[in-house]
Chain A
Amino acid sequence: MLSVWLAGKPAAAEQWLDHAELVAAFTYGYATFDEKPLTSEIELSPSIDFNAGTHNNGRLSLRIRGEERDLWLPEEPDLSSYSKGTRPHTFNRYWLAELRDAYVDINLDKGQLRLGKQQIVWGALDGIKVLDALNPQSFERFILEDFEDSRIGLWSAYLDLTLGAWRTELALIPDTTTHYIPEPGAWMAFTAPRYRYGLSSSGEAFIVDRDEPEKDNPSAGLRISRYVGGVDVQLIAISGLDFEPLGRLGTRNGTPLLTTYHEQRQIYGISAETSFSAFALRSELSFSPKRWFNTLNPAALNPADTLGAVELDQWRGAVGLDINAPFDLFLNVQFLHDEVERPPAELVRDRKERIFTAFLRRSFAYDALDVELRFYQSLEHHDRLLRAAVGYELNDNMHLKLAVEDFKGDARGPFGQFEQRDQISLTWEITL
């Protein structure tokens, strides 16, 4: 065991090793819709924090997952959305390893420079991404795992400086990894046309190919923030690869060919966060000028023209409110409004995409027992996800969690497409 090894670590190691940890999680899942066992899974997450000289430090962390059934990433998954340096390693159909963090912090007088594979998290809201747009995300488990687990760390340089009351952060990301979208056949594969370039899930088979993003055009982001009159304000500008893929149709040897590709995009945004008595209010607003979106024209004479793309201005805004409510209840409600301007009729996505979320939590027994209820509702398709979870701290290092997910609604909606993926899972987590 790692702790045993750590207990006997040599003196030299003590100087550079700041902290070592191993989190082991065992999960049993059951598909309530199908009424059959879903999977049994082991997840091992070793990590170390280390000192690099007197002033500097760093972190290395891995995640190894093994599942009983080849369910989440069936057979040999196509991981081409990852850059080579970031791509997880598959041992076989059941085991996969991923380097989550590998960075060094160079501490400066006014801040910090972080180099290596890392996650850079901007924005203020929870479970809704408006300005949290510097790292792509793996949708292998849709949004059922926390963003910190599904967000994909990228090889990047990140400078964080405090200049008086101002904080300035600069990120430079040469890594061209984009969102991981599970392939058809995966347990949480997208079936709604909106997330399949407008193509129906039951349509004819395609050969799928991917255009590699250009490597000589790194992504960059700038965030300036300060505390103004009780409000934490952030101004953000991001330019780089659009992680969401576009599609175009063609043929290869007489067989339809769907090629996915990525365009560049810019995001300009502002976020504000404040609290007043029992409430905390968060808001984010972003503008993406001339972002590319897919259009679909099934009546096109030339099949290659069926799937097109169009440049549109996009606004995204979200507000969230935390409430310390009576009876020790914690309530969080959020609303996201995403809209593109002057869309053509053929646009694959909806002109407006609005999502409401609510989260309710109550802790019992001196925070040893947590009960949570999470709710997502798409207002366009009236589909929703309801997630209930109970967590219990067995002792300082052991935690049990029982979670139930229930999807419902229009199969064209982000949540309704998983209506047959209702599940219940029990996780036992040990931290060593």
Chain B
Amino acid sequence: MTLYNFLQQTFTALTAKPRLVVLLGFIMIAVTASGLARLVKDTSVDAFVPEGHPSLLANEQTTELFGLSEPIAVAVFSADDSSVFAPTSVQVVHDIATALGELDNIRTDRVASIASESSIRGIDGFIDVENYIDTDDLSAAGLTDSARRWRDMPPHVNTLVSADETGAVIMAELIDSRAAATTYAQVQALVGEYVSDEVDILVAGPAAVSGYLSEYIDADARVLQPVVFLIVMLFLYFAFMRASALLGPIVVLLGSAGGAMGIMAWQGVPYYAITNALPVILVAISVADAIHILSAYFERRARFPDSPVRELVIDSMVTMARPITLTTITTMAGFFGIAVVSIMPPIAYFAWYAMLGVFLAWFFSLIVLPAVLVLVQPKPSPLFAAWGMARPDPIAGLLGGISKAAAQHPAKVLSIFVAVVALALLGASDLRIDRSQVDNFAADEPIRIADERIHSEFAGTAFLDVIITSDTDEGVLTAHRMQKIGELQAFLEAQEHVNKTASIVDYLSLLHTAIEDRPADPQRPLPDSDDAIAQYLMVYEASGDPSDLDEEITPDYQAALIRGVLNSHYFSDSRQVVEALDTYLQNTFNEPGLTGTIAGDVNVAYHWMTALQESHFTGVGLSLLLILIMSMLVFRSPVVGIIAVVPVSFTVLCIYGVMGSLGVYLEPATSMFAAISVGVGVDFAIHLVDRLQMEKRTTGNQILQIVSTVVPGTARACFFNAAALGVGFSVLMVSDLPMLQRFGGLVTVAALASFLAALVIVPACYALMERSRAARPVVSKPAQLMLPLAVALICAAPEARASAALVVAATPTAPADGLQIARAVAERAESPAVTRSIKMTLTDKRGRVRQREALVFRQNEDALKHTRITYMAPKAVRELTFLSRDFRDHTRSDERWLYIPAARKVRRIPASDRGDYFLGTDFTFEDMQSDLKFDVEDYHFTLEDSSGTSESPTYVISGQPVSKKVAKELGYGGFRAEIDAATWFPTKIEFFDLKQAPLKTIEVSGLHQVDGIWTPQRIEAQHHRTGHHTRFDYAEIRHSDDLPDTLFNPPALTRGLPKAW
């Protein structure tokens, strides 16, 4: 069975019970989409790093050893730029800090501000550790003292209070960062109560950003999804101008987007920030499949308005199944490239579930959509009226014109192509990879404003930590190691964007200068002896709160922490710092027994952005490679495979170039545009290449002619496909999330550009190939002479005509006399029922002979034909019986049964194609069923010759299948038959295959009349390809009006033949 026949039968079956198929489709949607109720969100930065990654483990170690976790930062600024060491500001800071500590998700002991922290100073050789603020004494003198003490505490300058004293910050750490969204909302509500004319209050910090982002996504999703849906539906309506055309695509997109997201939720995969784009992508992709099918369907309805809708749907599906399957595979390959290369779970999951969604879109498009079309039977709008006259509509005409122009001027296209590639490469060289969490928010968003102000007024909220661990208790408590920590701090502070560092060394240095009664020194002087270091700490613990230093050193003095504060969240800014720090640790700091490990959010971001940098181009390359391999395999040509991939590669390169030129950087969201664009953008080229290849193969026409014929229809569908993608992705541009805006914009441009590139580059490449071949001096003179003849023959080939008939218009060309002869053969007299014994002699090319004997019973009825064949010999197959009911209505499946005596039961078997070979002979089922009569609906007939006498003429007619579809069904590309007009039996039929090569020859002999009916005694078939020969010798022929029903009763086959036979 050929693929074509398989598809034909499959879609015939699928459209037989459309209600059931649609119902099953909805059940499937309901089951999968019901998982959406279980959806959970995870919008944290950490989610982008795989579980167990060293950078995450380092952060966990920071929390475990030093109790540090993600903070929310509340900044209180004096409204008139005066010092915050004023009663109102200090009271507000105190009150907010106290209230924050009472929130459920805030660690009460981890709320730091000037209201909770203390200063260290030396007074007459003693250490005085004193709170900055005494709320019982907010006098001007007291606050002045507080400000002075604060200025003498370098670790707190620019952290607790800004350097210019106009702002104070409260850092409140969260218990559970996953509940950041709720906490952020509570903090926002809380601070609202304290805003006044005297103070401005802003909320930012990593936890706040994470929490707000989560809210953002929620709001975004609520708006985006319905908007995408409505806009795409609106677009679909405008594409086909029929509301009834929308139902099928709705089912497909529900199945695809609902199914993929639902299964994702069922599997417990969280909804990451980037997941917001998934349903949008799936809606766009699934509608694209539906557009191609609907276009094919409406085109056929316009051309053949009187044909049954089901047949048109089946034909549309058979035609579109292959390209849609191919584009599905290539799109999945695009996502596969991302999935296997990305180490970031959100992106990898995105890609896997996008693959699933694309697969579901394919499944629903091929399985459910045809059933919906059969049920709804949408009529084509006037837009398609021109197709009925074999003329494309204006859009198709315009697109076809562009393509034709490209094919006419391939050299110019190539020149422009090379120039643009050069420019794109130039621009792409400036492309950078970057990201900042706050870039997820619009420039006027309060949280972004707050974050930027805190960054500018304070040291910052981007933390880069170094965990210093020794291998023994009190291992860091030596003068040498403290000195090293101080040097490391100094190194870190020397790096650009590092505003501040803090460690235990700051406190020891303060104690040292206080005890020694020395002036404050930014060089962090430390005592020389180990004992002094230990004693200083003891002094501090005796003077202040012993837990004050928990963030700087562990109680066993085995580990210490340096916290670096950066004034930028951008990867491009922090990258140099992390790399320099890592080099310093490896080369200078680490020593036996002492190790420095980098931690902090900056480090986490550095690692996943580095991974992105490494994986992005690998992923795109892999996607392109997979698609290239697929295309090469499918089209069985490396050159054609490359042509299919060139347009999208060109587009992606151009977009890299534009991004580089405009300073748009690659980040996790935008980085995905390339692989997605490769996956979806290649579809256009695949559709075009597929159609061009098929037309080229079947007609052998020049490329210009082929482009004129096939491009308008295909390009129109591709245009609406690209437009649907563009519309779908452009909806992302109205998202509140800038990263999605950028992503949507890039993919929109990529989709449209890929389409245009395919429309121009593919025909130009074909034209170039054609010119290149024509220029080759390899054809010998005789061959040159033969070439025009061959072209003419190919153009005149039945398939070419059939193809033209299908594509351009149904214009029967058979002369009437050929048709009349075929009708006379078809109307040859036959009896209502016939019985005969048949001896089959099968001879293979080596001369090996096998023989079968059988009894054949046939009964003709108006609507169907019963046939029973019971084998009598050889013994191994004796009584094996084949029974068939062949319906004259071709849309109804034939029914077949097989009785195997050894198994002692009758088995229902699937129907075979008309072109399948019958039980190991050289006759097809059609040959057997038709009794060598030609179905006048299958062929266009031509009278080739006539000879013989006027009383007994012999005609030679030829037949070409009316369409490629019929040709594939029959397995014949045409025939040439000699007809004996006396009996209206063909005495010799030469069949040709689909490429017009001789396939087999059937000869009929021994024609004689039995019961007044002309009956052959022998029919032979010689298969030219296999060398196999089949001969049927008939005997005991009996014509009658009727045969017993039991002969054709399937269950009764077990009883064997009635005794009369």
Binds A, one of B119-127, B185-193, B802-810, B904-912: B904-912
Interface residues of B in 900-958 (CB under 8 A from A): 902-905, 907-913, 916-917, 919-921
Query: Could you tell me if A399 and B16 are in contact, using CB atoms closer than 8 angstroms?
Result: no
User: Does chain A have a CB within 8 A of B13?
Assistant: yes
Of the listed stretches B814-822, B861-869, B872-880, chain A binds B872-880
Which A residues are CB-close (under 8 A) to B244?
none
Shortest C-beta distance, B486 to chain A (Å), equals: 63
Give CA–CA (A111, B1046) in the complex, Å.
9
The residue in chain A whose Cβ has the minimal distance to the Cβ of B3 is: A326
Q: Report whether A278 and B10 are in contact in the complex, using a CB–CB cutoff of 8 Å.
A: yes
Q: A396 near B850 (CB under 8 angstroms)?
A: yes
- Give the complex CA separation of A279 and B913 in angstroms: 12
Complex alpha-carbon distance, A273 and B1050, angstroms = 12
Report yes or no: A232 in contact with B1050, Cβ–Cβ below 8 A.
yes
Which of A294-302, A341-349, A364-372 forms part of the interface with chain B? A364-372
Asked, given contacts A278-B13, A325-B1, whether A366 binds B921 with beta carbons under 8 Å apart, the answer is yes
- Bound form: Cα–Cα A403–B909 in Å: 25
A274 to B13, CA, bound (A): 12
Q: A275-B896, A393-B850 are in contact. Are A112 and B13 (CB under 8 A)?
A: no
Residues from chain B with a CB closer than 8 A to the CB of A322 are 909-910
Taking A393-B850, A397-B874 as contacts, is the C-beta distance between A280 and B1055 under 8 angstroms? no
- A253 on interface, CB distance cutoff 8 Å: no
A148 to B3, CA, bound (A): 35
Which residues of B are found within 8 Å of A107, using beta-carbon distances?
A: 1055, 1058-1059
Once A148-B904, A162-B1049, A431-B874 are accepted as A-B contacts, the answer to whether A368 and B910 lie under 8 Å apart by CB is no
A372 CB, nearest partner CB in chain B, Å: 15
Residues on A with C-beta less than 8 A from B1050 are 227, 232
Q: How far is the CB of A367 from chain B (nearest CB, A)?
A: 3
Indicate if A19 sits at the interface (CB-CB under 8 A).
yes
**Can you report 12 A-B residue pairs in the complex whose CB atoms are below 8 A from each other?**
A19-B878, A54-B1059, A57-B1059, A112-B1055, A162-B1052, A276-B893, A277-B13, A278-B1, A278-B913, A328-B916, A363-B920, A367-B919
Contact A121-B905, Cβ < 8 Å, known A232-B1050, A366-B1028: yes
**Which range holds the interface residue count of chain A?**
35 or more
Contact B903 A395 (CB under 8 A): no
Contact A230 to B10, CB < 8 A, known contacts A148-B903, A277-B911, A366-B920: no
Q: How far is the CA of A131 from the CA of B917 in the complex (A)?
A: 34
Q: Which of B833-862 contact A (CB under 8 A)?
A: 842, 844, 848, 850-852
Q: Which residues of chain A in 279-316 are interfacial with respect to chain B, using CB atoms and an 8 Å cutoff?
A: 279-280, 282
- With A277-B911, A326-B6 given, name 9 new contacts (CB 8 A): A121-B905, A160-B1054, A275-B909, A277-B13, A279-B13, A324-B910, A363-B920, A367-B919, A431-B876
Does A30 belong to the interface (CB within 8 Å)? no
Instruction: Contact check, A279 vs B903: say whether CB atoms are below 8 A apart.
Output: no
A122 to B913, CA, bound (A): 29
Q: Are B902 and A225 in contact (CB under 8 A)?
A: no
> Do B9 and A280 touch across chains, with their CB atoms under 8 A apart?
no
User: Which of A312-332 touch B at CB < 8 Å?
Assistant: 322-329
The listed residue (A123, A167, A278, A393) touching B6 by CB distance below 8 A is: A278
Q: Is B1051 an interface residue (CB 8 A)?
A: yes
Cβ A397 vs Cβ B875 within 8 A: yes
| A23 partner residues in chain B, CB cutoff 8 A | 875
Give the docked Cα–Cα distance between A399 and B1059 (Å).
Answer: 31
Q: How far apart are the CA atoms of A21 and B3 in the complex, in Å?
A: 42
Task: List CB contacts (< 8 Å) of B379-427 with chain A.
Answer: none
Report Cα–Cα, A252/B655, bound state, in Å.
89
Decide if A260 is an interface residue (CB 8 Å cutoff): no
Instruction: Tell me whether B908 and A275 are in contact (CB under 8 A).
Output: yes
> Are A276 and B851 in touch, CB under 8 angstroms?
no
- Which one of A162, A230, A277, A399 contacts B9 once the chains associate, using CB atoms below 8 Å? A277
**Residues in B670-712 with C-beta less than 8 Å from chain A:** none
Q: Which residues of A contact B (CB under 8 A)?
A: 19, 21, 23, 54-55, 57, 105, 107, 111-112, 119, 121-124, 126, 146-148, 160, 162, 167, 225, 227, 230, 232, 273-280, 282, 322-329, 363, 365-368, 393, 395-397, 399, 431-432
Nearest-CB residue, chain B, relative to A135: B904
Residues of A within 8 A of B842 (CB): 366
Establish whether residues B908 and A273, one from each chain, have CB atoms under 8 Å apart when the complex forms.
yes
Residue pair A324, B1 in contact (C-beta under 8 Å): yes
Q: Is B456's beta carbon under 8 Å from chain A?
A: no
Instruction: Give the distance in Å from the alpha carbon of A54 to the alpha carbon of B3 in the complex.
Output: 51
| Residues on B with beta carbons closer than 8 Å to the beta carbon of A19 | 875, 878
Bound CA span A232–B905, Å: 13
A-chain residues with CB within 8 Å of residue B904 when the two chains form the complex? 119, 121, 148
List chain B residues, Cβ under 8 A from A431: 874-876
Enumerate chain B residues within 8 angstroms of A227, measured Cβ to Cβ: 1050
A-B interface, 9 closest residue pairs, ranked by CB to CB distance from nearest: A277-B9, A367-B920, A278-B9, A396-B874, A121-B904, A276-B13, A326-B6, A366-B920, A273-B908
A280:B850 contact, CB within 8 angstroms: no
Asked if B12 is at the interface (CB within 8 A of a chain A CB), the reply is yes
CB-based nearest B residue for A234:
B1051
Q: How far does the alpha carbon of A21 sit from the alpha carbon of B222 in the complex, in Å?
A: 78
- Contacts A57-B1059, A325-B1 known; A146 to B902 CB distance under 8 Å? yes
B2 interface contact, C-beta 8 A: yes
State the Cβ distance, B308 to closest chain A Cβ, in Å. Answer: 16
Cβ contact of A368, chosen from B9, B850, B912, B1052, cutoff 8 A: B850
Are A147 and B874 CB-contacts (below 8 A) given A277-B910, A327-B1, A395-B848?
no
Q: Most B CB atoms within 10 A — which of A19, A107, A278? A: A278
Of A111, A276, A322, the most chain B CB neighbours within 10 A belong to: A276
Task: Report if B993 contacts A (CB, 8 A).
Answer: no
In contact, A276 and B16 (Cβ under 8 angstroms): yes
**B850 lies within 8 A of A277 (CB):** no
The minimal Cβ–Cβ distance linking B971 to chain A, given in whole angstroms, is 12
Any A CB within 8 A of the CB of B895: yes
**In the complex, which residues of chain B have a beta carbon less than 8 angstroms from the beta carbon of A326?**
1-3, 5-6
> B875 contacts A21, CB within 8 Å?
yes
The CA of A431 and the CA of B871, in the complex, are separated in Å by 15
Report chain A residues within 8 Å CB of B850.
Answer: 368, 393, 395-396
* Chain A residues, CB < 8 A from B2: 326
How distant is A69 from chain B, measured CB to nearest CB, in Å?
A: 27
Q: Is the Cβ of B910 less than 8 Å from the Cβ of A323?
A: yes
CB distance from B989 to the nearest CB of A (A): 20
- A55, B1059: Cβ atoms under 8 Å? yes
Task: Give the distance in Å from the alpha carbon of A191 to the alpha carbon of B848 in the complex.
Answer: 48
Which A residues lie within 8 Å of B8 (CB)? 277
Picked from B12, B917, B1054, the residue with its CB within 8 Å of the CB of A277 is B12
Mark B1041-1061 against chain A: 1 for CB-CB distance below 8 A, else 0. Answer: 000001001111011001100
A23 CA to B842 CA in the complex, in Å?
23
* Distance to closest chain B CB from A253 (angstroms): 46
Chain B residue at smallest Cβ distance from A111: B1055
CA distance A432 to B908 in the complex (A): 30
State in angstroms the CA–CA spacing of A107 and B916 once bound together.
37
- Contact partners of B5 in chain A: CB under 8 A: 278, 326
Contacts of A225 in B (CB 8 A): 1051
- Minimum CB distance partner of A3 in chain B: B875
Interchain CB contact (< 8 A) of B903 among A55, A146, A160, A276? A146
**Given A146-B902, A368-B850, also A324-B1049 (CB < 8 A):** no
A397 engages B876 (CB within 8 Å): yes
With contacts A119-B904, A148-B904, A397-B875 taken as known, whether A278 is within 8 angstroms of B911 at the C-beta atoms is yes
Residues of B within 8 A of A277 (CB): 8-10, 12-13, 893, 910-911
Q: Tell me, in angstroms, the Cα distance from A55 to B1055 when the chains sit together.
A: 13
CB distance from A202 to the nearest CB of B (A): 38
Cβ–Cβ < 8 Å partners of A393 in chain B:
850
Contact yes or no, B895 A230, CB < 8 A = yes
Q: Do B903 and A147 touch across chains, with their CB atoms under 8 A apart?
A: yes
Write out the residue numbers on chain A whose beta carbons fall within 8 Å of the beta carbon of B876: 396-397, 399, 431
B16 A396 Cβ-Cβ under 8 A:
no
In the complex, what residues of A have CB within 8 A of residue B848's CB?
395
